[in-house]
A and B are shown apart, each in its own frame.
Chain A
Amino acid sequence: MSSQSAIEPVSLYVHVPFCPSKCAYCDFNSAVVDVSAAAPQVHGDLRRASAVPERDVGDAYVDAAIRYITEASETGVLADVPTVYIGGGTPTLLGSRLVRLVRAISDLPGVGPETEFTVETNPETTGSELIGQLVEAGVNRFSMGIQSFDDRVLTTLGRCHDSPAAERAAGVLRGSRVPFSVDLICGVPGQGGESWVESVGRATGTRAGHLSIYPLSLERGTALAGAVEAGLIPMPDPDVAAEMMESAAELLELAGFERYEIASYALDGQQSRHNTVYWTGGAYLGVGSGAASMLPVGVLRQLSPAAGQAARADDEWRARLVWTTTVTGFLTGALEDAPMQLETLSPADALREDAMLGMRMSVGISDELAEDAGVVAVMESLADRGLVMHAAGRWRPTEHGWLFGNQIFSAILGAE
């Protein structure tokens, strides 16, 4: 089918844009959807519609995802899938439908036991039965958004779980005996230093092997931004968030975690390989409403001749694709004519982006990449400002540089 000789590793991301409720700070691509409601009628493809007459939204979404993934696999682009990540939204909201999706992915020829297979979850949807079935179907890593163990903070964030629920869910994950990660948010208005330290401590107490620590960012149009504007909640203080990021770094270092990326901490060997693909210029295919892909144009051509044509670029360029289709569009469309936003990156642009993303990580970037991306002079001036350092043939961010990451990233993007 494909004339390409070398097999390009391509990671797989499946986006499930459904949530049981919308958190106050969230501006991600997700919506509160009753996944067991009847699926919309499929237009223009009566044969397929009549074949599965009684589907609900969740099933229809899973069917569509499986169909796209199968079609993609048939083109040969998923011959080597190093990592799979099912994120959201809240994928576990799909319940047993998610198990079906996981099985279908595990059955792909390119997915094997060495594939890191992560599913994102949240405390309300983490039941032991579901988690057990997912592990059995091939999932070998979970990522759970807990955000805080302080119920007052959880209320401010508009989360629909409380801290006992978080503890319970963490217990379920622990019982599954696969590695898992926990997300925490700092810099929440009303969150004191003690509350933060306690949350970090309790997060490590869950035996999570990986933690993600984010400062709260106020996004326009969210309920939280509205509450701040209305004066109901004080403005998040960036200084407080900075202090909390620093204190988390200290506490987690003591607990044996390595900070391998601005917001990511891992015990030995438990770094997220999937996220590392994003930060090291790896290829990934995104599936689902709002999902993003990053593929060499050659791979894109192999996946979809039409999209390859649209990219109008050489094979060594890269293409970023974002599904702009709605959920309904995703349920009813075909891979070939799904509406996509396409952006092509020249080799030079791609290298600069690799350098920018690479500097999020403690390993930083190699001299070779810095040279190829044309950012050596930029790195030198950032080093003068104490934001980066050079050692053993690599440029790396300093602690200080991590807090001022945007200065590094902008400088790299602005390099001529």
Chain B
Amino acid sequence: MTTDPRYIRNFSIIAHIDHGKSTLADRILELTHSVEARDMMEQVLDSMDIERERGITIKAQAVRVMYDSDDGQTYQLNLIDTPGHVDFTYEVSRSLEACEGVLLVVDATQGVEAQTVANALMAMNAHLAIIPLINKIDLPAADPERVRHEIEEGLAVPADEAVLASGKTGEGVREALEALVRHVPHPTGDPDAPLTALIFDSYFDAYRGVVALIRVIDGSVRKGMKVLMMATDVVTDVEEVGVRRPANEPVDELGVGEVGYLITGLKDPSLVKVGDTVTLAKHGATEQLPGYREVKPMVFTGLFPIDGDQYPELRDALDKLRLNDPALIYEPESSHALGFGFRVGFLGLLHMEVIKERLEREFDLDLLATAPSVEYHAYLTNGEMVALHSPQDMPDPSKLDRLEEPYLNTTVLVPPDYVGQVMELAVSRRATFTNMQYLSKSTVELHYEMPLSELIMDFFDQLKSRTKGYASLDYEPIGYRPSKLVKLDILLAGKIVDALSFIVHKDKAYDRGRVLTEKLKEIIPRHMFEVPIQAAIGTKVLARETVRAMRKDVIAKCYGGDISRKRKLLEKQKKGKKRMKNIGNVEVPQEAFMAILKVDE
């Protein structure tokens, strides 16, 4: 028994990070009695530990709640919680596609930020109704009037009817739901047409296989149907359909406009893609829903177990994570310095950090990550193009015609006082200024085109620190451009350490080499012998530093009362050494491999 689409509202909550989206979602669940307050873990929707700790959403979620409106009707509200980070822009766009409206949450103390703008634009492009909600009005620093103004000025969204709310106290939450019921259009679709449903996310269940989260556009889906995944061209049986409240609850059927889950028994997550269309295997739809694209990783890094014996465990762990995260790709890589590991592709730096943290935490692995790199395109003299995921893949210079690197359209929002600092940073990162506009008296929007490789070099942290935390950042890829790039090698004690090599613009090679050797000199501990550190392009040495030989290493005072303490100190030192990697006879701490990211300029 499906719900009449007139009483369905599908919406998403979009917000800049930390603007209180998840807390607000919790309050909605509470208000609609979907979760008993006392049983509720903080922020039910962000179900991963890391999501909760960092206050971010990585996976989309969908929850159905029943809301008794002031108009006397009971509405089926489907809340589709979207990832809140620029790494996951495509996932956000698919989630929005499953909605008719959004709650645009803006922090009453922070105002409009870059991601607010980006998300709002996405919602507008998807022709969604936008209901502004000014959150955290309980805070003393709340300035709803200023924020209302910013929303109107900066986003061109009428905000005179903005809901004033506090996820913390629950104030305004009911008003927000009323506004949704009144202003968000109900879904429309043809119940008699063949099934078309959009997959907006999926996750892996150890017992059931891949579970797809879907929104039905036309027709309906029932258990026992034979369906086709159009992009991957896979035909499968529907084992179960249901809704999440937030626990899975099987239903007989999902009809027009409804949101729920679909279990097919498929075990391979790569067959169930976000953005794909589900239709009937026979006499189904002929055209895919628009907007599908293959998700491509943007950032690559080598992950190596510190203890080489953990290689098989690392493989198993990556295989397991991939089940829930088809965007994660990896291939075996070997390094002279680090042994066997994987070259892993991520959607962005946050995605990378989260995965590394999960591998270490959930699988108890000690990992060493090499500096992140982007996918460079090498065009050979024979016309062939080779994608470089690792500096080690760099072709012989004699065979190389040119190199291209990925560029981004970058949007920075910043108070006018900091424009100079942002400009300075941008120039130092090979960014080309394209335009600038005042969103309000207090916010300037700057647009740059810049190489992705520069963005992943600590750009965001630098931006934050130069603007006292005020700047916010958003970006989207705009394709590849030719660039004068070289591979810079680092030599320790005269030997190239392949895992420290990186690709850099020719004009910056000297500076980066110099700063990096200086940095490494600080990081690499003194040994019983001298350790020269060199930066070189081919055989040409650009910079050289030396870690002087250590003259002594001894705890000289050790009597009865000291023994236990000194022994613990030695054990701690030893543990510290275990976290280092032996390259030749040089012990290199893990942070050396990330040092390139921290070259403050």
A residues at B contact (CB < 8 Å): 13, 15, 29, 87, 213-215, 217, 238-239, 241-243, 245, 262-263, 275, 278-279, 284, 286, 290-294, 320, 322, 343, 353, 356-357, 360, 385, 402-407, 409-410, 413-414
Contact = CB atoms under 8 A, between A and B. Distances in A.
B387 interface: no
A294 B570 contact: no
B551 A238 contact: yes
Interface stretch (B445-453, B466-474, B557-565): B557-565
Given A278-B558, A409-B570, A410-B573, A292 B564 contact: yes
Closest 3 CB pairs of A and B: A242-B551, A405-B554, A242-B552
22 contacts: A13-B561, A87-B559, A215-B552, A215-B554, A217-B555, A238-B551, A242-B552, A245-B556, A263-B556, A263-B557, A278-B558, A286-B560, A292-B561, A292-B563, A322-B561, A322-B564, A343-B564, A402-B554, A403-B551, A404-B554, A406-B555, A409-B570
B37 interface: no
Contact of A320 (B551, B558, B564, B571): B564
Interface string B523-562: 0000010000000000000000000101111111111110
Contacts of A286: 560-561
A329 B554 CA distance: 35
B6 interface: no
A398 to B, nearest CB: 13
Interface of B: 528, 548, 550-561, 563-564, 567, 570-571, 573-574
Contacts of B564: 292, 320, 322, 343
B528 to A, nearest CB: 7
B1 to A, nearest CB: 67
A318 to B, nearest CB: 11
Contacts of A409: 555, 570
Contacts of B571: 413
B562 to A, nearest CB: 8
B561 A262 contact: no
Contacts, number: 91
A151 B570 CA distance: 34
Contacts of B560: 13, 278, 284, 286, 292-294
Contacts of B551: 238-239, 242-243, 403
B570 A357 contact: no
Contacts of B563: 278, 292, 294, 320, 353, 357
Contacts of B557: 214, 217, 263
A360 B22 CA distance: 60
B574 A403 contact: no
A262 B567 contact: no
A376 to B, nearest CB: 20
Given A238-B551, A404-B554, A407-B553, A414 B574 contact: yes
A381 B443 CA distance: 65
A263 B558 CA distance: 9
A271 to B, nearest CB: 14
A403 B570 contact: no
A248 to B, nearest CB: 11
A150 B432 CA distance: 63
B390 to A, nearest CB: 34
A6 B528 CA distance: 47
Nearest to B554: A405
B34 to A, nearest CB: 51
A307 B564 CA distance: 19
A290 B550 contact: no
A410 B574 contact: yes
A284 to B, nearest CB: 6
B561 A406 contact: no
Contact of B553 (A15, A343, A405): A405
Contact of B555 (A275, A353, A405): A405
Nearest to B528: A404
B559 A278 contact: yes
Given A239-B551, A242-B551, A320-B564, A406 B559 contact: no
Given A320-B564, A360-B558, A405-B555, 5 more contacts: A13-B561, A239-B548, A278-B558, A292-B560, A385-B528
A404 B552 contact: yes
B530 to A, nearest CB: 13
Contacts of B553: 403-407
B573 A290 contact: no
A407 B553 CA distance: 7
A293 B574 CA distance: 26
Contacts of A87: 559
B561 A291 contact: yes
A403 B552 contact: yes
A310 to B, nearest CB: 17
B573 A406 contact: yes
Contacts of B573: 406, 410
B335 to A, nearest CB: 26
B525 to A, nearest CB: 12
Given A215-B556, A292-B563, A360-B558, A406 B550 contact: no
B529 to A, nearest CB: 11
A251 to B, nearest CB: 17
A293 B564 CA distance: 11
Contacts of B552: 215, 238-239, 241-242, 245, 403-404
A404 B557 CA distance: 14
B203 to A, nearest CB: 44
B527 to A, nearest CB: 10
| Most chain B beta-carbon neighbours within 10 Å: one of A242, A293, A343 | A242
A246 to B, nearest CB: 9
Contact of A413 (B528, B556, B559, B567): B567
A262 B574 contact: no
| Most chain B beta-carbon neighbours within 10 Å: one of A286, A290, A406 | A406
B561 A413 contact: no
Contact of B550 (A217, A238, A385): A238
A25 to B, nearest CB: 11
A291 to B, nearest CB: 7
B254 to A, nearest CB: 61
Contact of B556 (A262, A290, A322, A410): A262
A410 B561 contact: no
A79 B196 CA distance: 93
Contacts of A402: 554
Given A406-B570, A410-B573, A29 B554 contact: no
Nearest to A28: B561
Contacts of A407: 528, 553
B554 A403 contact: yes
Contacts of A413: 567, 570-571, 574
Contacts of A215: 552, 554, 556
A263 B555 CA distance: 10
Nearest to A414: B574
A152 B64 CA distance: 77
A239 B528 CA distance: 12
A382 B496 CA distance: 28
Contact of B561 (A239, A263, A290, A356): A290
A211 to B, nearest CB: 13
Given A409-B570, A413-B574, A15 B554 contact: no
Contacts of B528: 385, 404, 407
Contacts of A263: 556-557
Contact of B558 (A13, A239, A242, A357): A357
A331 B550 CA distance: 46
Contacts of B559: 87, 275, 278
Contacts of A217: 555-557
B567 A353 contact: yes
Contacts of B556: 213-215, 217, 245, 262-263, 405
B554 A406 contact: yes
A215 B556 CA distance: 7
A292 B563 CA distance: 9
A290 to B, nearest CB: 7
A360 B555 CA distance: 10
